[in-house]
Every structure is written in C-alpha cells, then in structure tokens.
C-alpha cells in the first residue's frame, strides 16, 4: 500500500488506497495485511462497481518485451 493509504478497519495499518485511472475511481484493498492489494474495485462514471483481477495490474513475466 502507498504511504497515503487509509486505515479502514481500525487496526492502525493502512489497507485501502484510492486513485483515478482515466475516468474510473480505483480502490485497492489489502485484506491480509501484507501491504499488497488483494482486491481491486473500479467505479465507473455511471457508479457501476467492477472487481478487477489483481494480476491484471502486472505484465506477464513471460512477455519477451519485459527483458
């Protein structure tokens, strides 16, 4: 989680980060306390909430362009 993340469960550890990606509001949530997002929610301009796979944020390591 980034340094400006929020503590939303009251345990003293930041666990929720909010950012903007294009026209979507993106909420990244660390459910297990390891400081990495376990769940990502995208909220569109029509207020529709969609869950995005966490691994969709990272490139495929087998991609030849990653070298």
Domain-by-domain residue ranges, the chain? 1-53
| Tens digits of residue pLDDT in 52-67 | 888 765 555 555 554 4
Average pLDDT over residues 21-34: 93
Q: Closest by alpha carbon to 38, among 16, 20, 10? A: 16
CA distances from 58 to 15, 48, 52 (A): 19, 23, 12
CA distances from 49 to 31, 40, 54, 61 (A): 18, 10, 15, 28
Confidence label for 46 from pLDDT (cuts 50, 70 and 90): very high
pTM, entire model: 0.74
pLDDT at position 66, please? 47
Higher-confidence residue: 48 or 3? Answer: 48
DSSP for 13-59, written as a single string: S--EEEEEETTEEEEEE-SSSSSS-SEEEEE-TT--EEEE-GGGGS-
Task: Quote the percentage of the chain above a pLDDT of 70.
Answer: 82
């Amino acid at each position: 989680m980034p340094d400006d993340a929020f503590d939303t469960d009251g345990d003293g550890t930041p666990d929720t980060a909010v950012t903007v990606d294009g026209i979507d509001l993106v909420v990244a949530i660390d459910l297990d306390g390891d400081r990495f997002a376990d769940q990502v929610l995208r909220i569109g301009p029509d207020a529709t909430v969609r869950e995005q796979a966490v691994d969709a944020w990272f490139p495929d390591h087998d991609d030849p362009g990653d070298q």
